[in-house]
Amino acid sequence: MPDLLMTRLFLPAAPKEGAGRPSSIAGPGVFSVTFSEAWPTEVRMVNVGSDKPNIRQVATIAGVSHMTVSRVLNDHPNIKPDTKRRVLEAIEELDYRPNMVARALATQRTRRIGVIVESAVAHGPTSILRAVELSARAAGYSVTPIALHEGDALSPQEAVDNLVTQGVDALCVIAPRSSSVAALRRIAITVPMLVVKADADPTFLTVSIDQHAGTTLVVDHLVALGHRDILHLAGPLDWLDARARERAFHSRAKSWGIRERPIVVGDWSADFAYDFAKGLTRLPDYTAIFAANDDMAIGLIHGLHDRGFEVPTDLSVVGFDDVPLARHFLPPLTTVRQDFGALGGAVVEMLRAAIEGRDIPALTRIPTELVARASSAAPRESR
């Protein structure tokens, strides 16, 4: 059966003067009508029948070749804006949906990104995954995620094998542990891979929130309030983000001449921080605590309250993440806001460049913002 069937549709005689002309004609096919002052008596019709519309029908409606339609679908840069507009309007008019299997066979690409997520229930990794999915969708890509959990039998090797078997064009690793990155280095990977981490890497593409700048904002904020003795409640130091924040804290504290004291290493959970605060036998010498994430900061505030200490009267507490509940806790939490949307966009843009053979953007670090709220104030001895 031919793709297009050209027929003739004969219309009734012209209506009486003043009756007006229809602006469009409904029918089972796609009509191409050019009205003049005279009433038309013949119309060319493209009959698409019951089959799904195809790329050649889109090309006919848009008045271009099917290769031009293909270039528009593949976001080719050298397409005139007017041509792109006409093709997109034809696609919408026909409700055309590209055959993804055929496209993959023709281009050797599936337009799919595989994502390996560690601790997918935590706020940071979950937010990054959601941002990557939204950015990928806007760029015409889909995302296939696999979660790795502590104690899970699934190894990084198996996760990579699973995604590559599904034909992904590229891989992304979110919130990695240093041990997982070391394991990935031993795997022969045939597609571009990006790791969300702060430091440049000789093996992988990298992009991240600027952990150093965010931590510097915290230390500078507390110093400006008058604090000179600050405890850092770190995340697990096998996590690259936790390690980056811990190093940045020590570096900035040293530059201010702040007293050096051992850090406390937590596990990211509010329960750990609550137990730590509840276990204090007296009001400590330090006057502020910087927690490596908001969950631990909120656990600290709860534990300090139950221990009989007030925030920020006795101790200031600052977190990192700006989770949705941070502004509603009592007191509202001072924290560092991370722009996960910008991070997701940077991840997808860098992977698209690698997939499409374009120049790879330089290492991207997404800026952070300090959100000062009521959990931080001047130290108790200066009041």
The confidence band for 211, taking pLDDT boundaries of 50, 70 and 90, is very high
What pLDDT score was predicted for residue 382?
A: 57
- Please name the helix (run of DSSP H) or strand (run of DSSP E) that holds residue 5, with its range, or none: strand 5-10
User: What's the pLDDT score for residue 356?
Assistant: 87
Question: At 149, is the pLDDT very low, low, confident or very high (cuts 50, 70, 90)?
Answer: confident
- For the segment 201-215, the average pLDDT, to the nearest whole number, is 93
Per-residue pLDDT, 109: 59
Q: Grade residue 6 by pLDDT with cuts at 50, 70 and 90.
A: very low
**The pLDDT of residue 297:** 98
Q: What's residue 68's pLDDT? A: 87
Amino acid at 303: G
Region for residue 49 given its phi and psi (left: phi exceeds 0; alpha: psi -120 to 50; beta: otherwise): left
**In terms of residues, how long is the chain?**
383
- The residues with which 205 forms a beta bridge, in sequence order, are 194
pLDDT number for residue 75: 67
What is the rounded average pLDDT of the residues 87-94?
Answer: 84
Q: Does residue 121 surpass a pLDDT of 90?
A: no
Q: What are the tens digits of pLDDT across the range 22-46? A: 444 444 444 444 444 444 444 444 4
Q: What does the pLDDT average to over 80-106?
A: 73
Q: What is the largest CA-CA distance in the chain?
A: 98
The stretch 53-62 carries a mean pLDDT of 86
Using only C-alpha atoms, the chain has a radius of gyration, in whole angstroms, of 29
149 versus 102: which is more confidently predicted?
A: 149
**Is 51's pLDDT higher than 80?**
no
**Residue 192: per-residue pLDDT:** 94
At residue 72, does pLDDT exceed 70? yes
The β-bridge relationship of strands 42-47 and 30-32 is antiparallel
Residue 14: other Cβ atoms inside 10 A: 12
Percent of the chain with pLDDT over 70: 81
Tens of pLDDT, residue by residue over 74-85, are 667 678 889 988
Name the more confident of 277 and 357: 277
Angle at 247 between CA 243 and CA 252, to 5 degrees: 150
Average pLDDT estimate for 201-230: 96
**Residue 34 has what pLDDT?**
47
Mean pLDDT calculated for residue range 242-246? 96
Mean residue pLDDT across the chain = 84
Whole-angstrom CA distances from 182 to 176, 179, 203 are 10, 5, 11
Angle separating helix axes 240-256 and 178-185, nearest 10 degrees: 120
pLDDT of 245 reads 97
Cα(319)–Cα(358) distance, integer angstroms: 39
